[in-house]
Amino acid sequence: MSDERVIKRRRSRVDERSTPVNSVQNIGVTDAWAYFITAKVGEGIRKRTQEDYSSTWRYFTEWLIEVDYKVKYVSDITPSMCREYIRYLTEDAPRYKNHKYMQAGKFGKGLSSATINMRIRALKVAFNFWKADNMVRTSPMDNVRCQKDDVDKIESFTDEQIQAMLNACDQRTYVGFRDYVFQICLLDTGMRMNELLSITLESVDLKSRSIHLGAEFNKNRRYRIVPISPETLKLLLEIVDENKQHFPHAKRIFLSCYGEEVRDTQMNKRLKYYGDMTGVGKEIRSTAHTWRHTFARNFILNGGDPYTLMRILGHSSIHMTRRYVQMTDGDMQVKHLQHSPLRNIKKKLR
């Protein structure tokens, strides 16, 4: 047995790693975006979300070219560029730029806070994705916050405006009757435009008087049941009978006069047409979203509770439902008169 001891030799000190930790891949702007959107489509994002992301990136990269920023790789984009872009959107961006029908510059400059915040969120998602995949060292949007947005008063139709919009539909024609039933459904259910356009006869439950909305058609991807009134059910069955006579192979309930599925852009034009025709459009936007707010407000005014309303509207939180229920000054006066503690105590004392 040897008496020599084993001596551990000290390793030489290493101050730097052979492979830098913070190195990033030099990916071109176009290739980086293609990689991002392909991954998001693979995650199952909706087509509308995909279009919003793509539009946001197109607007941003077009601006980079306009102001002559020499950006070759996505990692070349700096926080100062992003902040300058947000300032441009806030103060100098022409409204309705490149719009098919609206003339750019005619409606002033500076986009709404809601539009700007939508673009900020989309850019944050993209840069965070590239950061996770080592395409940028840090996200240039990290310290860019969404703008504070004033909570605007969201208006709804008055009873007179509702009556005018419904009376404007010529029920002697197929399209007029379809539009009448469509607006009745919006008023009775508060459904979103694309949700209502997606329903088929199989969506309507005759026994429970309700419409069953599949998760694929809902904004939050949740299956939902929406109750309907007997009058609405009767009208839906009537238009289904009309469809069977003219378009026996059609699946959707709301169709064009040629038996084709109606797109949301087409129906929005029809609602705007009735607003222009009656003069209601000069006082308030005649859109499906206004009908949705009208349903929510009247549901509460007629004694409905906010949690039931939240489920009917398909909201994931009561906070969003609260935004839909904005009472007018007259509404508050009526409710105060009905529920004032002073008035109720005086009634009891009498």
Question: Comparing C-alpha atoms, which of 142, 155, 85, 77 is closest to residue 116?
Answer: 85
What count of other Cβ atoms lies within 10 Å of the Cβ of residue 59? 17
- Within this chain, do residues 177 and 324 fall inside the same structural domain, yes or no? yes
Residue 96 and residue 207 share a domain: no
Each as own residue / partner, the long-range contacts of residues 213-221 (CB below 8 Å, 24 or more positions apart, any chain) are: 213/314, 218/314, 219/192, 219/314, 220/314, 220/315, 220/316
Structure tokens given for 36: 């991002």
Helices of type H across 96-173: 113-132, 159-167
CB 296 within 8 A of CB 190: yes
> Same domain for 127 and 210?
no
Question: How many Å apart are CA 89 and CA 117, to the nearest integer?
Answer: 10
pLDDT in tens, 289-312: 999 999 988 888 888 888 888 888
CB hemisphere CA count around 276 (13 angstroms)? 6
Number of domains the chain is built from: 2
Task: Identify the CATH number of the domain in which residue 194 sits.
Answer: 1.10.443.10
* 339 HSE (CA, 13 A, CB side): 8
CA angle at 83 for the pair 81 and 89, rounded to the nearest 5°: 105
Structure confidence by residue, pLDDT tens digits, 122-158: 999 999 999 999 999 999 999 999 887 655 566 889 9
Do 254 and 128 lie in one domain? The reply is: no
- Take residue 325 and report the two structure tokens written for it: 């229920």
* Tens digit of pLDDT at every position of the chain (350 positions): 555 655 556 666 656 555 455 577 888 999 999 999 999 999 888 888 899 999 999 999 999 999 999 899 999 999 999 999 999 999 988 876 665 555 555 657 888 888 899 999 999 999 999 999 999 999 999 999 988 765 556 688 999 999 999 999 999 999 999 999 999 999 999 999 999 999 999 999 999 899 998 766 656 567 888 999 999 999 999 999 999 999 999 999 999 999 999 998 899 999 999 999 999 999 999 999 999 999 988 888 888 888 888 888 888 787 777 776 665 556 666 666 666 676 666 666 66
Q: Note whether 189 and 316 are same-domain residues.
A: yes
What is the C-alpha separation between 40 and 59, in angstroms, rounded? 19
310 and 221 within one domain: yes
pLDDT, residue 148, reads 79
Q: Do 162 and 274 contact (CB within 8 A), yes or no? A: no
pLDDT digits (tens, 9 = 90+) for 274-293: 999 999 999 999 999 999 99
**Domain co-membership, 171 together with 116:** no
Last residue of a domain, one of 132, 149, 170: 132
204 and 102 assigned to the same domain: no
Task: Name the residue range of residue 329's domain.
Answer: 159-338
Whether the model clears a pTM of 0.75, i.e. scores above it, the answer is no
